[in-house]
Amino acid sequence: MTAQTARTQPRRGRNLKISLTRSPDQVEAAQRLRYRVFSEEYGSDLGATVPGLDADAYDAVCDHLIVTDEDTGEPVATTRILHQQNAAAIGGFYSAGEFDLAALGQLPGTMAELGRTCVHPDYRNGGTITLLWAAIAEYLTERQVDYLIGCASISMADGGGRAWRIAQHLQQQYLSAPECRVTPLRPLPHLTHPETHKTEDIPALIRAYMRLGAKVCGEPCWDPEFRCADVLVLLEVSNLAGRYSRHFLRKPA
């Protein structure tokens, strides 16, 4: 996928277009969407230096995928990808600020990081998420990425109980191999809560990760700025390609 390429998908009267870009104007529109979604869901101002913008130094070196509703011209979903070859320019991956990634540095092949993924509440349906992941899969394949990592967030608006229960469930069901474990730099406090929880409480984007074959690399990290718990997720792109290439990519596996 080259910059500014797009795919259009109508759904229930909506025309959704997804573009890969570094355009400052489009990135700013994505930053406004991120601020709106994250500030509402996590109850935080995100430490924003510009009111209404969720922006940081990583945005300048990332490739941004933005889903736009062509009927309104408004962005409705976005994510950013930091390729390993660009990470050195910003001092490493974003998740290195939350986890000790030494173990993952031993993996063979090329790595990329997915971050700041969000979807407008009115567009949280299978069509939007599938469109977003189709573009991610295409990017990873074209850029010959072997591993995708990312911080997947769970709100701590209730004080942390839900985040702790979900994190425990993810570790029980989707834990990575020992050689891929990471250590949180700010561990989430071990709260006393019932061990059971409803599976549907898991955020939709984390459920999508798990359906694609991703693994959780250990204990969660507390992110005080976003008021959330983050788990480090690892996806082997070969598994994604093997299971989903016919669905996401318009070519055989």
Find the mean pLDDT for residues 29-46. 86
Q: Check residue 225 and give its pLDDT.
A: 81
Q: Residue 168 CA to chain centroid, in angstroms?
A: 19
In a domain, 251, yes or no: no
Share of the chain above pLDDT 90, in %: 58
Q: How high is the pLDDT of residue 203? A: 84
155: closest CA among 96, 223, 54?
223
Range(s) of the domain holding residue 147: 6-246
pLDDT of residue 189: 74
CB 147 within 8 A of CB 214: no
> Does 252 fall in a domain?
no
CATH of residue 47? 3.40.630.30
Phi, psi (rounded to 5 degrees) for 109: 100, -170
Domain-located, residue 15: yes
pLDDT digits (tens, 9 = 90+) for 117-163: 999 999 988 788 889 988 999 999 999 999 999 999 998 888 888 88
The pLDDT of residue 108: 93
Q: How many domains does the chain have?
A: 1
Mean pLDDT over each residue of the chain, to the nearest integer: 85
Q: What is the pLDDT of residues 160-201, one digit of tens each?
A: 888 888 998 999 999 999 999 999 999 987 655 555 545 547
Residue 96, pLDDT > 50, answer yes
pLDDT value of position 251:
46
For the residues 22-40, what does the mean pLDDT come to? 94
Considering only CA atoms, which of 228, 244, 110, 106 is closest in space to residue 177?
106
Are 108 and 223 in contact by the 8 Å Cβ rule? The answer is no
